[in-house]
Amino acid sequence: MTTIRRFCCNDLLRFCFRQSRPFNRNLMGKVEGQGESWHGHVIAVTIAPEYRRQQLAKKLMNLLEEISDKIDKAYFVDIFVRASNTPAIKMYEKLGYVIYRRVLRYYSGEEDGLDMRKALSRDVEKKSMIPLKRPIRPDELE
């Protein structure tokens, strides 16, 4: 069952993964930023291995996009993906996301991260999806 509620500090003390639950899937997101940078941010998408390839991640992403668009009036949704995670990159591209920028050494092991974005209805001109011309460092993130 899907529950939409505000994140609170006690949530940090709980475990999200419950192996015994059918269709184990989780999506954690938030809204952040100011002005035209107001956006939905996907913190994590997890699908239990035995339930992958059933479009569950797509359904979770669509839900977060709809909430960000209709309720939070965000300009875009973004998610950071490891540059080596080709299956995830392809999935997000199929959902309409583009690689907005590369963040050098974003992940441990000095792996780059890709900031992928999808414009929502408030971003009529799709400015949030215009890729940056150069990679950035983590300390340059706003």
- Say what the pTM is: 0.81
Q: What are phi and psi of 120, to 5 degrees?
A: -105, 180
Is residue 4 assigned to a domain? no
Is residue 7 assigned to a domain? no
CA-closest candidate to residue 64, choices 25, 102, 101, 99: 25
CA-closest candidate to residue 36, choices 136, 138, 140, 117: 117
- Residue 48: the pLDDT is 82
Q: What are phi and psi of 125, to 5 degrees?
A: -90, 0
Is residue 6 assigned to a domain? no
Count of positions (residues) in the chain: 142
Is residue 11 assigned to a domain? no
The one-digit pLDDT tens for each residue of the chain (142 residues) are: 456 666 665 654 454 444 445 545 577 888 889 999 999 999 888 888 888 888 888 998 999 999 999 999 999 999 999 999 999 999 999 999 999 999 999 998 899 999 999 999 999 999 999 999 999 999 999 7
- Residue 19: the pLDDT is 45
Is residue 3 assigned to a domain? no
- Residue 29: the pLDDT is 84
Is residue 10 assigned to a domain? no
| CATH number of domain containing 126 | 3.40.630.30
Number of domains in the chain: 1
Contact between residue 78 and residue 113 where contact means Cβ atoms under 8 Å apart: no
Q: How many CB atoms lie within 10 A of CB 137?
A: 10
Is residue 62 assigned to a domain? yes
Q: Which domain holds residue 104?
A: 16-140
Is residue 86 assigned to a domain? yes
